[in-house]
């Protein structure tokens, strides 16, 4: 044991390079030797070899739950990992307010909500409400930000109208329900509607967030940025300034 540098690594069970992992799944097969063999086959196809079926339990009469342990031979290479690192400075509320004041000479307008049928507002509220999250106050707390929180289950057209009415600089949307890719569908619908309603010059910045998003999908979903698990209000505020506030030192992107 001993943490590698960033060279290629293997999973670690109890010895460097042993490649050990734990896997569980259900197969739609009654429990018998064939089913156990099928479970092994799946593990092998996933690159586990040797793989051991250490637990098999029938569920009803047509299904079997398996726990498999074994070694994967894949190497993972951290140096090839693409991550969306924070490409903007973290600012304090004070700094955010100052930047907006001097850079925009008006309050920056944020419209937010949960679109579609999603009613999980705790996430967006954590970002927007004064109460905030993880000890940081939410955007409503920032003097120079005007926050319009539409709450849950906002229809996309309604969101667009409010964005127009409020002259929103940024639109913040939360999506928590992911079953059947609801979050992706709703996000695409939302971004399409905004691109339809605005030309690129005037379109508000589109930001979505939720615990199960992949940050790298932003372009694909047609939004400017995705925030995920554990985001704090400060990060969001800093990003908004970075993208929206013209700054003498830095030409706004």
Q: Give the interface with other proteins as residue ranges (CB under 8 A).
A: 1-2, 12-16, 20, 22, 24-26, 52-55, 57, 59-60, 63, 65, 67, 69, 116-119, 121-122, 131, 151-153, 177-180, 182, 211
Question: Do the bridges between strand 205-209 and strand 170-174 make them parallel or antiparallel, or are there none, so unpaired?
Answer: parallel
Catalytic residue list contains 131: yes
Instruction: List the one residue from 19, 70, 209, 234 that touches ligand B12 (CB under 6 A).
Output: 209
**Contact letters for a copy of itself, residues 233-252 (x by CB under 8 A):** --------------------
> Residue 70 has which token pair?
């074994």
Q: What's the CA gap between 124 and 172, in Å, rounded?
A: 8
Q: What's the CA gap between 120 and 157, in Å, rounded?
A: 19
Q: What's the CA gap between 51 and 98, in Å, rounded?
A: 59
Q: What's the CA gap between 68 and 56, in Å, rounded?
A: 9
Q: Is 185 an interacting residue with respect to ligand B12 (CB under 6 A)?
A: no
In the list ligand B12, other proteins, a copy of itself, none, the entry touching 126 (Cβ below 5 to 8 angstroms by class) is ligand B12
Query: Which is nearest to 173 in space by CA: 219, 217, 224?
Result: 224
Long-range contacts of 244-252 (CB under 8 A, 24+ apart): 244/104, 244/108, 244/169, 244/170, 244/205, 245/99, 245/100, 245/103, 245/104, 245/108, 246/103, 246/104, 247/99, 247/103
Out of 33, 45, 131, 167, the active site residue is 131
CB of 231 to ligand B12, least distance (A): 4
Residue 52 has a CB neighbour count (10 Å cut-off) of 13
CB of 191 to other proteins, least distance (A): 19
Positions 210 through 239 that interact with ligand B12 (CB under 6 A)? 210-211, 227-231, 236
Instruction: List the one residue from 174, 187, 191, 238 that touches ligand B12 (CB under 6 A).
Output: 174
In the list other proteins, ligand B12, a copy of itself, none, the entry touching 57 (Cβ below 5 to 8 angstroms by class) is other proteins
- In sign, the C-alpha dihedral spanning 62, 67, 73, 76 is positive
Secondary structure class of 189 (helix, strand, coil): helix
Q: Is 143 an interacting residue with respect to a copy of itself (CB under 8 A)?
A: no
In the list other proteins, ligand B12, a copy of itself, none, the entry touching 151 (Cβ below 5 to 8 angstroms by class) is other proteins
Residue whose token pair is 């619908």: 189
Which are the catalytic amino acids?
131
Contacts with ligand B12 by CB under 6 A lie at: 117-124, 126-127, 133, 172-174, 176-179, 207-211, 227-231, 236
Interface with a copy of itself (CB under 8 A)? 1-4, 6, 9, 11-13, 16, 20-30, 33-42, 45-48, 50, 52, 60-63, 72, 74, 76-78, 80-85, 212, 214
């Amino acid at each position: 044991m001993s943490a590698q540098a960033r060279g290629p690594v293997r999973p670690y069970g109890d010895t460097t390079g042993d490649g050990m992992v734990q896997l569980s799944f259900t197969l739609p097969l009654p429990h018998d030797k064939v089913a156990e063999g099928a479970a092994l086959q799946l593990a092998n196809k996933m690159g586990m070899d040797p793989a051991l079926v250490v637990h098999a339990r029938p569920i009803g009469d047509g299904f079997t739950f398996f726990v498999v342990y074994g070694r994967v031979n894949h190497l993972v290479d951290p140096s090839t990992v693409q991550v969306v690192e924070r490409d903007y400075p973290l600012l304090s509320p004070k700094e955010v307010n100052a930047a907006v004041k001097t850079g925009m000479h008006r309050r920056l307008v944020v419209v937010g909500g949960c679109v579609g049928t999603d009613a999980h507002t705790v996430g967006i509220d954590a970002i927007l409400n004064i109460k905030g999250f993880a000890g940081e106050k939410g955007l409503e707390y920032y003097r120079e930000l005007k926050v319009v929180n539409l709450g849950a289950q906002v229809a996309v057209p309604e969101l667009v109208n409010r964005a127009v009415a409020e002259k929103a600089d940024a639109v913040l949307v939360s999506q928590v329900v992911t079953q059947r890719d609801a979050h992706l569908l709703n996000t695409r619908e939302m971004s399409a509607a905004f691109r339809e309603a605005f030309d690129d010059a005037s379109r508000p910045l589109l930001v979505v967030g939720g615990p199960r998003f992949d940050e790298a999908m932003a372009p694909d979903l047609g939004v400017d940025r995705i925030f995920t698990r554990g985001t704090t209000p400060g990060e969001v505020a800093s990003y908004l300034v970075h993208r929206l506030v013209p700054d003498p030192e830095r030409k706004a992107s």
